[in-house]
């Protein structure tokens, strides 16, 4: 299986890269900074590309003849009251979370079509389906991602499956400003009925499953990894 992981330098993307390589998959990792991995048994199956997939269409046809999977991981966390949000912030969140995904999928559609059964995984947020204060910009951008997920699942069926994962706050470097003290971590954990914050590996494991043949009947779905926030009340 050959999979492109867009945004694999940190967080969920990095965790997914390592899980896929450990499973024997070939991985093309794309990030703005590149990834320096130590030599190991999986290094021959990994190609790291330095490229800004948000700013420019990321055409991988020079590196693969087909893609069995594509995962778009870039994201942002911009939490402000509506009155404090500028137009530029809305546009930035749309560009990173939605338009970057759109142009990446457009650029690599033929590679996905060339695979026998391809799978696409995108990322939303629990804040789309569950109202949360200060999430106007990011929830709007991720809401567009959920619409794209369902649209492409219909448009590209049955050859290409398209699903999204909607996490709550996850323990990654992107969320570090929200988790950079014991008090913040405790408060964040207590918001979740599960009483904990998800690790990047946990979310990555769901993405890996969605890419696999075990998820062959899954398409057009937005799956929550949110510690029960969207469906449980304590």
Give the C-alpha separation, 232 to 162, whole Å.
26
Token digits of residue 28: 């093309």
What sign for the dihedral angle of Cα 210, 46, 32, 175? positive
Strands (E), 24-159: 26-31, 46-50, 69-72, 118-123
Give the C-alpha separation, 204 to 225, whole Å.
10
134 is catalytic: yes
Please, what is the end-to-end C-alpha distance for the chain in angstroms?
42
* 128 and 139 Cβ atoms separated by less than 8 Å: yes
Query: Of 46, 72, 98, 134, which is the active-site residue?
Result: 134
Ordered DSSP codes for 81-95: -GGG--HHHHHHHHI
**Active-site annotation, residues:** 134
């Amino acid at each position: 299986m050959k999979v492109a992981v867009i945004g694999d330098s940190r967080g969920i993307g990095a965790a997914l890269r390592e899980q896929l390589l450990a499973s024997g998959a070939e991985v093309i990792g794309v990030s703005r900074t590149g990834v320096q991995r130590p030599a190991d048994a999986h290094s021959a199956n990994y190609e790291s590309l330095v490229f800004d997939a948000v700013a420019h269409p990321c055409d991988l046809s020079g590196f693969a003849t087909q893609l069995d999977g594509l995962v778009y991981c870039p994201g942002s966390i911009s939490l402000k009251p509506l009155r404090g949000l500028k137009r530029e912030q809305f546009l930035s969140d749309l560009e990173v979370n939605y338009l970057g995904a759109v142009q990446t999928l457009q650029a690599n559609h033929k590679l996905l079509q060339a695979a026998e059964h391809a799978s696409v995984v995108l990322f939303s947020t629990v804040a789309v389906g569950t109202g949360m204060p200060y999430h106007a910009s990011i929830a709007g951008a991720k809401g567009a991602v959920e619409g794209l997920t369902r649209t492409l699942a219909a448009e590209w069926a049955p050859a290409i499956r398209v699903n999204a994962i909607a996490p709550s706050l996850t323990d990654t470097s992107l969320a570090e400003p929200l988790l950079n003290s014991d008090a913040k971590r405790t408060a964040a954990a207590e918001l979740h009925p599960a009483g904990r914050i998800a690790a990047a590996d946990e979310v990555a494991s769901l993405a890996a499953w969605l890419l696999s043949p075990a998820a062959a009947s899954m398409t057009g779905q937005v799956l929550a990894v949110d510690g029960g926030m969207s469906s449980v009340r304590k």
